[in-house]
Amino acid sequence: MLVVAPTGYGKTATLARFFADGDWPYAWYSLDQDDTHPLRFFQHLLGALRLVLPDLSSGELCDGDAQADGCAVDRLCNELLCLLKTDTVLVLDDFHHVDHRPVVALVERLIERAPPLLHLVIATRREPPFNKLPVWRAHQSVQEVTAADLAWMQSEVEALFANHAQPISREDAELLATRTEGWAAALQVIHQALTHDTGATVETLVRQGSPPLQTLFDYLAIEVLNVQPPDVQHFLLHTAILRTLSPTVCEHLLGQSTGVALLESTPGAELFLFRVGGKLYRYHRLFREFLLEQAERQGIGAEHLHKRAGIFLCAAEQHEDALYHLLAAQDVTAAAALLESIAPQWIKEGRAATLKHWLDRLPSALLQHSALLLYAQGEVERLRSHYDAALDRYQQAEAVWLSENDRVGQSRALQGQAQVYLDTVRPAPAAQFLKRALKLLGRAHREESAALLHLLGENTANRGRASLAAKLHRAAERVWPAAQTPLLTAARVQLRTGKIVQARVRLQAELDTVAQAVQEQPPEAHREPLMLLSLLACWMGEPENAHAYAERGLQRGRAISSPIVEAVGEIRLGHSLLLMQDEVAAAASYERAVQLATTFGVARTKVEPLMGQVLLAGNRGDMLGAELVAREALAIVQRTGDEWMAALLWLALGAVAVTNRRLDTALDALGEAEARFQTSGDMYGVTAVHLWRALALVRSDQNEAARADVRGLLRLVREHDYDFLIVRRTLFTPRDHQMLVPVLQLGLTIPEVDSYARELLVHLFPASGSLYATQSNRALAHPGVTLHIQMFGQFRVWSGVEEVRVWGREKARLLLQLLITHRAIWLQRDQIVEYLWPDLGLRAALNQFKVTLHALMTALEPRRQAHAPSFYIQRNGTAYRFLPPPDSVVIDVETFERVLEQADTGTDPPQRIPLYIEALALYHGDYVSDSLYEDWVCPVRDRLLRRWLQSAHTAASLLLDEGQLVTAIQLSEQVLARDPCWEVTYQLLIRAYVQQGNRAQALRTYKRCVEILAAELNLAPLPQTTQMITALHGS
């Protein structure tokens, strides 16, 4: 093992503590300058080894005046082979004192010939010149510990001070770790200063020129700088101004060719010089400050050196380093000129934060007279989503260019202002600036004119006029053929014109290329390819893909510190979560997006998350809330002129109105949406309008009026490949797919689309689609909703989103409970009567049954025609059964048992645990707990309770095996809350507490088990339970 680090990094202390605490025998040899003679080195080496191997020969290994050579090393290795019985370590500390060729050769031979049980550890300030070191590295036979490994991290610094009764805050620990780069010697000096000066703070002690740092600098002067040869000292003091050292810049700075040789031959680790890649190096932060101070004391002019370095690095196109040195040399004019030349490229590369850093270091007076730098400031502020500040800078740049009579510059400043409104999708003001900018350009500036025409095309699409946008893009390509319509712009136009599939295919095919290009470009808000793909996936009903794209886009927004990209990411994440039916998380994402939009002051960005909130409010039956949010969003859109977004808002409002049976509101909203979609040329939107209007009319029994919309819906779906709008869950598909059945059944009666309607029914409902599509079942009117039934806990029923609260007859609920409990069989009428009216005579009971059955069917199917058969309750002579088509009803008990079956038959615990958790969460209470005293309920109730207890125990056991102790304990306590005598769960709890190291709680659990079993069952615990506690006492 090689441990290589500069002085003060704790090499010796770390190794000493490690071996003192370990079980290995070890020999320690601390070297100094007097050990450079091979014979002396070898004799001292033998002395160190004899401390752990007393039987090691003395004279025989190195006789008298004999040389300590390879033969002596071989004899030593042979004897060690015989004597060593266990792994033993030989530590050679401070090896940098003797890393000259004779001693290095001996040690290299010792390493090569050492017996398997001898392990060498070499601690040194610089890398030893072993010839075989590259070979050892290639064979991975050498372990290397560097200064980076020994440096103290923030958490370790915090723990260090706390352990020495001098606790510091996390922020102070972070400051220390950053300032000292984890250098142990510096941390020790600062700790001592804090101990002796109680009024001192970490911030003052690490400040340049503080007494602790001066102490360190004195130490470095003695230990490091003063012991170097004059040429190395000259090199160090003259290159200290450099943030990064390379051979070429050192050679230029020193004015001599020896700079390259010195950099490559200087012992880097010993001089706090670390490689940062290739032939690039840097000094340790504090060591560099020390060198700069020493250079100043010796009268070495730093300003002159900075100027030389800045000029050279500028020519070498190392722009950031050049700016640093030019500003350090007080040459702000040269720095400003350099920034003017490189700002456009940095903007294209997405380096707005870097550009801002250097712009902020220039005097404001200088900036005010440079239109290029004012424009660059505008670009920076726009990309940081500081839109008001961006507009101000663009306007200042425009004024400077106007004073200089620079029409191209003025056009550029106007384009910048338009870009603000394009980024925030405010097409009305954007159009004014783009037209003014285009007017200022003459025929000679065809490339710039083409770029403006493309932006006009994008803005026109934002206004909902896609056909005109396409003409503008074609005009741009005619003006400047090389100016092809940008891929992302074209994809957005396709999105807004309903070419969903084409946009998705186009973006997906070039995703890798686009993603790579965008990583090198500034943030583009809603134009980000990942955001577009996420929205397209929502439109196409692919929630998992939408979620993945949104997550990646959100990460990019955070990584580049762009609030608007982050806001759009939250919006698209909310859409995907809405499709995945995680409405709580969706609402949180939408709210975060609104808050971000408020932060950067662009109301238009709130519109899309407000649309999501409209859909959420409609889903939970809050129609008033949905209308209020929709009106707020529409007011914003009206000010900005985005008619396509307005169409989406009207569509969302119409959809939730249909879901909540508000026919008049639905038809009005859908009419507004359709007009705007038609103007935009968005056939996807038009198709969605047909869908929801057909649903509205069918739900209000206006089938004849609905025929035109059903025909238009199915024709457009087939023509544009929009089948996903029906067969998947998209943002504008009914949440309850059963709503589509009556619409598609109506399509079966329309000759032009009947075969396609049948195909969709079968595809959408594999278990019952054929049944819905057959002529003989057309009379069986589908209610157009999914029936959700909760049997666990309080009995509840929902017809779609509406809870059934009016039952007509008290026993109607009980009749439904009875039929569902016995849903696997046909119940004879006499059996039902005996269950529900045992105390009535037969005639009276039969009359009660007839009236109750009618009340039940009316409660479940309020729009069922008189004398029509029930969709849910089938009759066979005098027998009855709850037997709806399987797709149309969701019963929590069935879901509970189906998911548990999947969990029980699984083999992979990480996959089984979520299934158990999902199923157990459905158990809101005992089976139909509001019918406690019905005899026919008890057997089912008891069976399901046992099933829950067994499954909960199994899940807790799996969680325990997976190390999820807290969740295992919580679930076990839930089991005992339902059955305090479930002894195996006490055993599991004891195991969990033992694994937590909580012996006291394990003992208390056992005591609770003993007391409850005695009180409830008059029994003692099982032997297995007692043995667990006996073992615990024994340990």
Residue 1031's pLDDT band (boundaries 50, 70, 90)?
confident
Residues 6 and 136 in one domain: yes
Is the pLDDT assigned to residue 17 strictly greater than 60? Answer: yes
**pLDDT at residue number 64:** 44
So what's the pLDDT on residue 943? 96
Q: What is the mean pLDDT of residues 594-599?
A: 93
Stretch 570-577: mean pLDDT: 97
Mean pLDDT of the chain: 89
**Rounded mean pLDDT, 562-569:** 91
Q: 143-147, 198-202, 232-236, 539-543: which has the minimum mean pLDDT? A: 198-202
Average pLDDT over residues 878-905: 94
Q: Are 859 and 826 in the same domain?
A: yes
Residue 802 sits in which domain range?
A: 787-884
Domain end call among 546, 571, 601? 601
What residues contact residue 694 under an 8 Å CB cut-off, 6+ apart?
Answer: 706, 709, 710, 713, 743, 746
E-only strand ranges, 315-378: none
Tell me, yes or no, whether 10 and 145 share the same domain: yes
pLDDT-wise least confident of 263-267, 294-298, 677-681: 263-267
Both 123 and 167 in one domain: the answer is no
Tens of pLDDT, residues 969-995: 999 999 999 999 999 999 999 999 998
Asked if the structure places residue 340 within a domain, the reply is no
Asked if residue 318 and residue 223 are part of one domain, the reply reads yes
pLDDT digits (tens, 9 = 90+) for 402-418: 999 999 999 999 999 99
Give the per-residue pLDDT at 776. Answer: 47
Q: How far is CA 959 from CA 32, 901, 967, in A?
A: 58, 18, 7
- Amino acid identity for residue 320 in this structure: E
Q: Is residue 490 part of a domain?
A: no
Per the structure, the count of domains in the chain is 6
Give a yes or no: residue 660 inside a domain: no
Q: Looking at the structure, do residues 74 and 96 belong to the same domain, yes or no? A: yes
In a domain, 688, yes or no: no
Would you say residue 88 has pLDDT above 90?
A: yes
Judge if 102 and 88 occupy the same domain.
Answer: yes
Whether 515 has a pLDDT exceeding 80, the answer reads: no
Range 753-760 average pLDDT: 93
Quickly state the pLDDT bin for 552 (edges 50, 70, 90): very high
The mean pLDDT of 810-838, rounded to a whole number, is 95
**pLDDT of 112-155, one tens digit each?**
999 999 999 999 988 898 999 999 999 888 999 998 899 999 99
Alpha carbons 583 and 580: distance in angstroms, whole number: 8
For 932-983, the pLDDT digits (tens) are 889 999 999 999 999 999 999 999 999 999 999 999 999 999 999 999 999 9
Express each pLDDT in 918-929 by its tens digit: 999 999 999 999
pLDDT greater at residue 540 or residue 517: 540
Q: pLDDT of 412-464, one tens digit each?
A: 999 999 999 988 888 889 999 999 999 999 778 999 999 999 999 988 888 87
**Residue 348: strand, helix, or coil:** helix
CATH number, position 541: 1.25.40
CATH number at residue 982: 1.25.40.10
Pairing of strands 88-93, 2-4: unpaired
What pLDDT, in 10s, does the model give residues 695-748?
A: 999 999 899 999 999 999 999 999 999 999 999 999 999 999 999 999 999 999
Q: Which residue has the tokens 């975060």?
A: 592
Residues 182 and 59 in one domain: no
312-322 mean pLDDT: 94
Q: Which of these ranges, 95-99, 529-533, 768-772, has the smallest mean pLDDT?
A: 768-772
Q: How far apart are CA 699 and CA 559, in angstroms?
A: 48
End-to-end alpha-carbon separation of the chain, Å?
Answer: 39
pLDDT at 764 over 80: yes
Confidence of residue 318 (pLDDT cuts 50, 70, 90): very high
Residue 96, both tokens: 């940098």
- Looking at residue 81, its amino acid is L
* Domain CATH for 75: 3.40.50.300
b/e for 109-125, b at 16 or more Cβ within 10 A? bbbebbeeebeebbbbb
Percent of the chain scoring above 70 in pLDDT: 95
Q: Is 879 helix (H, G, I), strand (E, B) or coil?
A: strand
**What is the rounded average pLDDT of the residues 297-314?**
92
- Among 359-373, 554-568, 826-840, 842-856, which is the least confidently predicted range? 554-568
Q: CB burial class (10 A; 0-12, 13-18, 19+) of residue 462?
A: buried
CB atoms within 10 A of CB 146: 15
CA 585 to chain centre: 14
| Ramachandran category for residue 665: left, alpha or beta (phi over 0 → left; psi -120 to 50 → alpha) | alpha
pLDDT the model gives residue 512: 61
CB distance 417 to 391 below 8 Å: yes
Instruction: Give the 3-state secondary structure of 74-124.
Output: HHHHHHHHHHCCCCEEEEEECHHHCCCHHHHHHHHHHHHHCCCCEEEEEEE
Q: Does the structure show a pLDDT above 90 at 827?
A: yes
In angstroms, the Cα distances linking 327 to 375, 651, 708, 817 are 21, 57, 73, 83
Handedness of CA 256, 257, 263, 266 (dihedral sign): negative
Over residues 993-1004, mean pLDDT: 89
Q: Which helix (H) or strand (E) holds 811?
A: helix 810-821
Do 89 and 202 sit in the same domain of this protein?
no
Confidence (pLDDT) at 697: 96
Residues 617-641 have a mean pLDDT of 93
Per-residue pLDDT at 780 exceeds 50: yes
**Would you state the structure tokens that stand for residue 555, as one six-digit string?**
């990460």
- 691 domain-assigned: no
Asked if the model's pLDDT at residue 772 lies above 80, the reply is no
pLDDT at 66: 46
The answer for residues whose C-beta is within 8 angstroms of residue 744's C-beta and 6 or more apart is 726, 757, 760, 761, 764, 772
Report the candidate in 498, 591, 571, 467 with the shortest Cα–Cα distance to residue 528: 571
**Can you give the length of the chain in residues?**
1035
Q: Considering only CA atoms, which of 697, 717, 719 is closest in space to residue 708?
A: 697
Kindly state whether residues 182 and 225 are assigned to the same domain: no
CB 110 within 8 A of CB 73: yes
Residue 518 within a domain: yes
**Could you say which of 884, 913, 931 is where a domain stops?**
884
Mean pLDDT computed over 471-478? 89
Query: Per-residue confidence at 264, pLDDT binned at 50, 70, 90?
Result: low
Model confidence band, residue 256 (pLDDT cutoffs 50, 70, 90): low
On whether both 160 and 295 belong to a single domain, the answer is: no
Structure tokens given for 860: 């479940």
Q: Phi then psi for 891, rounded to 5 degrees?
A: -115, 125
Q: Bridge partners of 828?
A: 879
- Report yes or no on 734 lying in a domain: no
The answer to whether position 694 is within a domain reads no
Report CA dihedral (353, 354, 357, 363) to the nearest 10 degrees.
-120
Helices (H), ranges, 642-682: 643-659, 663-680
- 137/12 same-domain check: yes
pLDDT score, position 384: 86
Asked whether the whole model's pTM tops 0.75, one would answer no
Domain boundary among the residues 286, 310, 330 is at 330
pLDDT in tens, 204-231: 888 877 788 888 888 888 888 888 888 8
What percent of the chain lies above the pLDDT cut of 90? 59
Confidence of residue 819 (pLDDT cuts 50, 70, 90): very high
Phi/psi for 787 (5° steps) reads: -90, 120
